[in-house]
Each structure stands twice: as C-alpha cells, then as structure tokens.
Chains A and B, each alone.
Chain A
Amino acid sequence: MSTSHPDLERQFALVGLSHWSAPVELRERHAVPGDQLVARTRELVSLGGIEEALLLSTCNRTEVLLVGSDVSGALDALRAGLFARSGPQHVYEYRDLHALVHLMRVGCGLDSLVLGESQILAQLREAMNASEAAGALGERLRPLLDQTLALGKRVRSQTSLGEGTLSVARVAVDIAARAFGPLAAARALIVGTGETGILVAKHLVHHGVQSLVFANRTLANAEKVVRELGGRAVPLDALGRELEQCDLVAVCVDGGRVLHREQFERARLGRRDAPLVALDLSVPRAIDPDASSVAGLLVYDLDDLARVVEHNRRGRETATRETSEMLLAEVAKYLARRRVARAAPLLAGLGERFDAVHARVLAGLGPNVDASTRAALERLHREQLDAAFAAVKDGLRGGTLDEALDRAYQSYLERR
C-alpha cells in the first residue's frame, strides 16, 4: 500500500539495519564513529534531491533518514555506498509515513533490543546535533526530531514500557529485590553452575550483590565460574554452613533435592529469622516443599516465577499499546503542523485580501474620519484577520488521526 501522505509534501525515506535485521558483525562494520557523524551527514545532503538528512548510528543500528523532492537516487547511492557491504536481506527501507512511524518507534524504545531503554534518546540527540552542524536540519526534520525526543521522554515517564522482565532468571533476582531492596548489601549463594545458575549470578553481579558463593557437585566447575564472575567456590557438602551466611539462595541443579527443611531450620537459628529468599529454578524441584513453613524463609519455585513473568507480559502489552497510541497521535500532530505550514501561502493571500478590503473601506470614508473611528476600524480589521487565521488553522489541524494513518501503522507492523 502507498505510505505517502499529501501533508508531507516532500518524500521521506529511512534506510538502515539494526539488531532485528543484521548480526552483530555486520552492524559493527556499518557503525559510524561519533567524530565522523557530521562529515557523513554532510555527504548525505550533497546527494541529488536530498534537502535534509539524519544519520543515527548506535551499537544496535545504523539508520539514515532522508527528506527531499526525490529520494530514489539517494537511496540507490546509499545501498551502493554505506550499505554496500551487507546483503539486501539485512537492509530495510521505509518510505513516508512508515519512515515517520519507524523513527518515532526508535525514539520510544519500541524498536530497541531492551524494550523501552532510554539511551537511544541521547543517541538521537547526538545525531540531531550532527545533522544541525552539517546544515542538514531544516523545517521538516527539526520539528519531527523535536517531537520524537519529546515523545520518547513522555513515554518513559507516563508508561511502564520496559518495566518488568520476561526472563525467569531476572524475575528471580527481582523477587529477591522485593525483599532486600537494592541488592548491594545482600549475600547470595548459587547452587549449581549450569546455564541458569550462571545467568542468575550475572544478574546478581549486575545488581552489585555484596558477595557471591557458588556451590557445585564438581568444585572445579564452580571455580571456573568464580574466575569469570568473582566470588567464592565451595563444595556441595558445605551448603549448610553457607546457608547461615547468605540472604539469598538460588538453586539451579538437575536431579533431586539438595536442600531440606532441616538445613533451613538450622540456618534459621543462626539468622535470627531474618528473611532468607530461596529461589528454586530446578526441575524437579531441588528445595524440599516443606521448607516453606520455616520461619523467615521465602521460597519460590519455577511456577511462582512463571506467574510473575505472565504479569510482566501483560504489563508490557498494555504499555506497548499505550505507547503506540501516543506515537500515532504524535505523527498526526506532525502531519497537522505540516498541513498548517503548507497553507502558509494561502494564509498570506488571505491577509493581503483583508488588507486590501480594509484600505478600500478607509479610502471610501474620505479624509474626514476622526482618529478614534480610524483606530476602531484598525482594531476590527486585526481582530477579524486573527479570527479568520485561527479558523483556517483549526480546520487544518482537525481530524488528523485519520484511518489512513492507522492503516499505515498496521501495514508498518505487518511488514516487520
């Protein structure tokens, strides 16, 4: 379907690659260093038919947004130049409304690897500054970028986009944080150094956990993980002693129970019933279910974590829907602004006609008009002109969230 829109006047095109379309080795080959942004943007506006341009380059995407009377030649040049080293399947291209929608989705964090991450706003700002310095920012791109940045900020403050994770390992760590707040003072014990155990440990390290102890049947494996992530390695038979010293225990092992109620009972005495979070990420469960009755012990298994993941999934869907609605409203606003800008000659003509009528009426009254009548006529003229302009602008701005825009957004989503 056609994505052009009469209010855009010029052609908009966005071409690029991102983590959705290209592997990291391809992305790093196309990354443009910050100190080259201005020069590369200048090259873009020197392409035939291009009036304004933006070059956005981050670790996850390299994208070019072009505005001009005819962008086809420039797009061919980019495919043969900047994106020549990647196959056509890795490079995407959006035109007109799709380009606008894509840019705003990027600004909102809807297109980010980590949904809702806010670093992209700073990167967009940097690209905008480079575009400004290169003289590639004009009356179409500047308001579009201003709106995108404002929308990005609004989305992050008014929606819960990006909150709540869908990773079981991270949910486990988040649950621990509900008990301990910041985990900087928490001592963690990881039982099992398989994939899940390491993932949980990495999240804990990311949260700045105070100390990390790895317990494993094969001590050598635990020591290997310790060399990578830090902490201490202990054999599995030291679990009882370590349990007394920790605030959080994550068990990620295969093959039966490793922690029993009695071990928690003994640990409880040493801990004065202070909360101990036990996360059982094993199938079959490695923590005795009876242990949950021990005072101060908060036990969670995979079923519990799955419920939190489901809650987060629902929250994300809601936030994504809210963000999309805000985004569409913003695109509509931009189109309305363009419509008003497009009507500038019409408004100027209207003003001239009003002035001519005013002058004719004054001339018809002759030279004997007193000052107060003249002032009243001047005021009437100005107020009528203002009212006419306001009415025309309101008419142009109205009914902007049209079906065409909604359809364009749906077709954009279907293309992805």
Chain B
Amino acid sequence: MIQLLSVVLPTAYVVVLVAHAHDFLAPSENRHTRWRRVYLYAALLLHAGLFAALAYEAGGMPHLDRLHVVSAIGLATGLLYAVVGEGNGGSRQGRAGVGLFVVGLVLVLQLVASCFAPLAAVRHDDDALFYALHVGLILLASASLALSGTYGGLYLLLYRQMRGRRFGPLFHSLPSLSELAALTRRASLVACVLLFGATNGGIAWAHARDVEGFSYTHPLVLTVLALCAHFLVVALSRRLPGMNPRRASLAAAVGLGVFVLSLFAALAPGKFH
C-alpha cells in the first residue's frame, strides 16, 4: 500500500497541477474551476492515507525518516493552503495562479519523498502525544514558511513582469503586488509564532527526557530561532525602517530556501528525531 501510494501521489498532484494551470490560463470559468478543489482535496486525502499506512505498518505513531518529513511538510502545506489560503488571491484566475505555484511546490516535495523515502516505518518509542504535538506544530510552521516563501516568490515574479512591462497571464491574473505582500507577511507571522512554539515544545520535551545539549544555545536550536527571527522581520516589514514589500518578499523566498537546508541539517540521522 505504501509503495502504491508513493507512486500514485505524485501523479495525483500532477492532475491537480494541470487542473490549476488550465483554470489559470482559461479566460472564463470552466469545468476545472469546479473540480480543481475537489482534485486537491482528493490528493490530500491520498497523502494522508500514506501516513495512515505508515502508522499502520509501524503499529502506532511512526518514526519519520527525513524524507517522510519532507512529504509531511508537503501535506501540511497543501492542507494549510486548501483550508486557509485557497480563499485568498482575488479573482478566479488569481486563486488558480497562486494554487498552481503552491501545488507545484507540494508536487516537488512529494516527488523527492516518493523517490527516496523508505517504504516502511518503525514505531516511535517516545510519548506519542507530545511527539505528535511537537511534530504537528513544526509541520504547520513549515507549511506557513512554504506558503510565505511561495507568496514572496510570486511577488518577485509579478514585480519583474511589471518592471519589464510584460503583460502576460501572470500580469493579468495573479493577485496584486500589495495583496501578495500582505499574504507573505501574514504567512510569515503565523510561521514565526508556530515555529517558536514548536521549538520551545521540543526543548521542553528534550528536558523532560533529560537529553543533554538541548537548550537555546544548541546550534540547531539557534538556527531555528534565527529563522524565526528572519520571518519575524518579514512579518513586521511594514513597520521596520529599510524594509519594503520587495525586500520582504525576497527575504521570505530566501528564507524558504534556507529553511529547507536547515531542515535537512536538523533531520540528519542521530539528531532530534
């Protein structure tokens, strides 16, 4: 089942992606307008099914491999977008356009996970509830960072289009620069709060288990806190001197890249998880 879902999931996300692309490029409402959300929810359901299968295989809360974590971040990003983000983006084409990029990101994450993640999982031996809370917060924070980085990237893309006086589909259909900037700030703020909560939760959990070295001065904790501060700057960019929407968007997009790198570092074997 895990193997089957690993193969089916990228295909399902490709279908969602094509539906979004079609709706984005179509001049008027079409059948994809009605179905693209259904396709997205169906793909997310399949994705959740993959983790259910992993849990079944492990006989409880599974110990997540780092590539499973990548897949889980994809799922959380897709879920957060479907539940909260899909309503933003202005027009039909604007929403489809934003969705196109978010689903594209989820597809890439899942494709990597499907290609390299192990097809089995073992049971996590720690306090499942605490672990689920910690991991859940981290995943939601990661999803917010992914959305923030995507919105920031879209801002830069549209800004380049406008600077270059290119009046293509992106110019006509994406949300306005100010809307994208606002979405970037909002997603960053949510990410920042969740990341801070998840990090402290993780430290408390480590202290409870008397694991040596887990504190605010731990290099990896400092990395996450630095990322947290970075996105706080993005979130508060309207009030900070020297910041403007373009710089904030650039920071969000770069922050996403840094986050992915730090994620791999943090999830290296023998570390936190």
Contact = CB atoms under 8 A, between A and B. Distances in A.
B29 A157 contact: yes
B167 A181 contact: no
Given A298-B163, A308-B167, A181 B178 contact: yes
B28 A180 contact: no
Nearest to A247: B178
Given A298-B162, A318-B27, A178 B177 contact: yes
A177 interface: yes
A159 B28 CA distance: 4
Contacts of B158: 178
Interface in B158-174: 158-159, 162-163, 165, 167, 171-172
B171 A178 contact: yes
Nearest to A299: B165
Contacts of A159: 27-29
Contacts of B176: 177-181
Interface in A321-354: 322
A416 interface: no
A322 B242 CA distance: 49
B29 A158 contact: yes
B245 to A, nearest CB: 7
B243 interface: yes
Interface residues of A, number: 26
A296 B28 contact: no
A304 interface: yes
Contact of A319 (B28, B165, B178): B28
B27 A300 contact: no
A179 B162 contact: yes
B3 interface: no
Interface string B177-188: 111000000000
A49 interface: no
B124 interface: no
A322 B158 CA distance: 29
A181 B175 contact: yes
Contacts of A160: 27-28
Contacts of A241: none
B230 interface: no
A274 interface: yes
B258 to A, nearest CB: 23
Contact of A304 (B167, B172, B175, B247): B167
A374 interface: no
A170 B27 CA distance: 20
A272 B162 contact: no
Nearest to A305: B167
B11 interface: no
Contacts of B243: 272
B246 interface: yes
B178 A179 contact: yes
A280 to B, nearest CB: 12
Contacts of B241: 272
Given A177-B176, A179-B176, A298-B163, 11 more contacts: A180-B176, A181-B175, A181-B177, A181-B178, A273-B244, A273-B247, A275-B245, A296-B246, A300-B165, A311-B167, A322-B28
A-B pairs, 5 with minimum CB distance:
A181-B176, A181-B178, A158-B29, A159-B28, A274-B244
